[in-house]
Amino acid sequence: MKKTWRILDTGLRRAAENIALNRALLEARQAQEAPPTLRFLRFTPAALLGFHQSAEQELNLDYCRAQGVTIQRRITGGGAIYFDETQLGWELYLHRSDLACADMQAISQRICTAAARGMQALGVAAHYRPRNDIEVDGRKISGSGGAFDGDALLFQGTLLMQFDVEKMLRVLRIPAEKLSDKAIASARERMANLADLLGYTPDLHMVQEKLSEAFATEFGVAFAPGELTAQEQARFSTALAEIDSEDWVHLMRRPVTDKPTLQASIKFSAGLVQVSVIYDQARNRIQQLWFSGDYFISPRRTIADLEACLRDSDAQALRRNVEVFFAQRSVDMLGLRAADFCAVVEAALAQEVAS
Amino acid sequence: MAIVRGCNLPDDLFYHVDSNVWARLEADGTITVGMTSYACSLAGQLVAATPKKIGKDVEQKQTICTVESGKWVGPIKAPVSGKLIAINEPAIDKPTLVNEDPYGHGWLAKIQPNRWDAEKASLVTGADIAAVFEAKMNADGFGGC
């Protein structure tokens, strides 16, 4: 007889409530007050910071205020995202004993791979991409992150049903030059959503059904709809009192100058390679980067995959990461070399050292 | 030094096994706290660490620091009750120190304990370490450091 796990659909809520529910449900799972749970959720427009991020560094606060985009801090890791009604959130609340695995990266991979299978059942060729994405033909359709407390863990992901790429770029603190038509088109090439891929927006319940079927198969369980328990409601009220506050949203404050956007371009014999790097100088990490320029590379998705590989990575490990990346795949670059990508990123980072 | 599935677990330290943290009783009666090599292996490379404020009173198993690795966020919990009296700024600034030297330069916090004699019984030390961590690793499905 299969074990039964709970499905919750907490509907469309404002960000503070959704994040307070994250904490309440994780605590309840840790206290063994609630069964393993799959939760679906949606947000009124919100910019969601990763737990360790600072709003000043990550977001265009003036734009958020003017557009009524709520700012909130997640309890999970990873980078800032824009979340609105056109996206579906999915989350699993599990115990380590539900997984028989303690390695956090392996857990991420297993859950994302299962979620990708659910998306495949909708008719899109979704696949897990290390470290925490789900992509379709190199274009990101889902990002994810997690939190744990003792033996309980929360793993959450997004699924883009439709998506306003331009609004996302304006919410996030992206340099103005990245908001040109060309740059927006370039960002659009890196993102995918179900409506564009399928030619229609699938029914929300159908999407939830396919995702739950995929998780049920992966974990060998059956799902049954449920409600929040009284203990979860009580924990939710307590969590909301803390999270629905400016103190929580601005728990981490760091100056914008600590995280510059650095740019460089180099003309190689095989073409021009340009890069923009958001560099976390306090931790010497590449937070995010985008390559552009004029060069040939096949398959085209290689660039998106390389950007995903280098997202939130140790700047000192750049050469090794790039070498490993290209060693793992067959890429035609007509004379461009892996080292050329390193050189242009290093040229960008060197500007910070120089300043 | 106990070595369990490749993870070093010095036998002169005290361990809160559920929280996967170590505690060292210093000569002045304070407790130094850090993550075990096993906890580091599970987490992977740390990218951020945020401690609670110095001066905060904490109960055993309350969070004293929050760490992030591979997009996972989790708490580091106090192995004993007391007052948080110091944090290791170099490790907060460069969290990979914790991975590189979890029992040395990668310590995270110091606590002035207020119930050490009562609470140390809940910690594991010396010859008991290997068996207790072997059981934990087995339950966690852990392959090795």
CATH, residue B25: 2.40.50.100
Note the pLDDT of residue A175.
64
Within 8 A by CB and 6+ apart from B82, the residues are B31, B57, B58, B111, B112, B113, B114, B115, B116
| Percent above pLDDT 70 for chain A | 98
Could you tell me the fold of the domain covering A3-249? BirA Bifunctional Protein; domain 2 (3.30.930)
- Check: CB of residue A160 under 8 Å from CB of residue A142: yes
Kind and range of the H or E element at A49?
strand A46-49
pLDDT over 90 (residue A96): no
Distance CA A247, CA A260 (A): 25
Residue B70 has its nearest CB partner, among A108, A252, A282, at A108
Chain CA centroid to CA A19, Å: 16
Angle at B78 between CA B75 and CA B81, to 5 degrees: 145
Which chain B residues are closer than 8 Å to A102 by Cβ? 42, 137, 140-142
Gyration radius (Cα) of chain B, Å: 14
Architecture of domain A259-354: 2-Layer Sandwich (3.30)
Which chain A residues are closer than 8 Å to B72 by Cβ? 76-77, 104, 108, 145-148, 153
Structure tokens at A206: 């159908």
B121: in domain = yes
- Higher per-residue pLDDT: A89 or A102: A89
- Check: CB of residue A75 under 8 Å from CB of residue A147: yes
pLDDT over 90 (residue A26): yes
| Strand-pair partners of A38 | A7, A92
pLDDT grade, residue A176 (50/70/90)?
Answer: low
Note the pLDDT of residue A300.
85
| Strand-pair partners of A316 | none
CA distances to A94, A142, B112 from A156, rounded to whole Å, are 11, 10, 37
pLDDT grade, residue B104 (50/70/90)?
Answer: very high
Its domain, for residue B103, covers 2-140
Note the pLDDT of residue A178.
61
Residue A167 three-state SS: helix
Distance CA A1, CA A223 (A): 13
Distance CA A180, CA A292 (A): 13
Distance CA A347, CA A337 (A): 16
Note the pLDDT of residue A354.
61
pLDDT grade, residue A353 (50/70/90)?
Answer: low
Closest Cα to residue A93, out of A240, A253, A223, A288?
A223
What's the whole-number mean pLDDT along residues A60-81? 96
Phi, psi of A282 (to 5 degrees): -60, -35
What's the whole-number mean pLDDT along residues A60-67? 95
The residue ranges of every structural domain in chain A are 3-249, 259-354
Which chain B residues are closer than 8 Å to A100 by Cβ? 141
Question: How near does any CA of chain B get to the CA of A107, in Å?
Answer: 10
- Check: CB of residue A109 under 8 Å from CB of residue A342: no
Note the pLDDT of residue A212.
98
Distance CA B76, CA B63 (A): 6
| Strand-pair partners of B34 | B22
pLDDT over 60 (residue A355): no
Q: Which of B71, B93, B142 should we substitute to test contact with A (largest number of A Cβ atoms within 10 Å)?
A: B71
Residue B47 has its nearest CB partner, among A103, A153, A312, at A312
- Please indicate whether, in this complex, the C-beta atoms of B142 and A102 are within 8 angstroms of each other: yes
- Higher per-residue pLDDT: A174 or A75: A75
Q: Is A248 at the interface with chain B, CB within 8 A?
A: no
Distance CA B86, CA B64 (A): 11
- Higher per-residue pLDDT: A335 or A158: A158
- Please indicate whether, in this complex, the C-beta atoms of A283 and B140 are within 8 angstroms of each other: no
State pLDDT tens for residues A252-284.
888 888 888 899 999 999 899 999 899 988 888
Note the pLDDT of residue A259.
86
- Please indicate whether, in this complex, the C-beta atoms of A314 and B45 are within 8 angstroms of each other: yes
What's the whole-number mean pLDDT along residues A315-321? 95
Distance CA A152, CA A97 (A): 9
B11: in domain = yes
Which chain B residues are closer than 8 Å to A131 by Cβ? 70-71
B145: in domain = no
pLDDT over 60 (residue A44): yes
Nearest CA in chain B to A147: B73
Dmax of chain A from CA atoms? 67
Distance CA A304, CA A190 (A): 6
Chain CA centroid to CA A342, Å: 24
Q: Report long-range pairs for A273-276 (Cβ below 8 Å, ≥24 apart).
A: A273/A336, A273/A340, A273/A341, A273/A344, A274/A344, A275/A341, A275/A344, A275/A345, A275/A348, A276/A175, A276/A178, A276/A348
pLDDT over 90 (residue A321): yes
Which chain B residues are closer than 8 Å to A101 by Cβ? 140-141
Question: How near does any CA of chain A get to the CA of B127, in Å?
Answer: 25
Q: How many domains does chain B have?
A: 1
Q: Is B138 at the interface with chain A, CB within 8 A?
A: no
State pLDDT tens for residues B10-63.
999 999 999 999 999 999 999 999 999 999 999 999 999 999 999 999 999 999
Which ranges constitute the DSSP H helices of A220-330?
230-243, 246-249, 301-310, 318-327
Question: How near does any CA of chain B get to the CA of A169, in Å?
Answer: 21
Q: Is A157 at the interface with chain B, CB within 8 A?
A: no
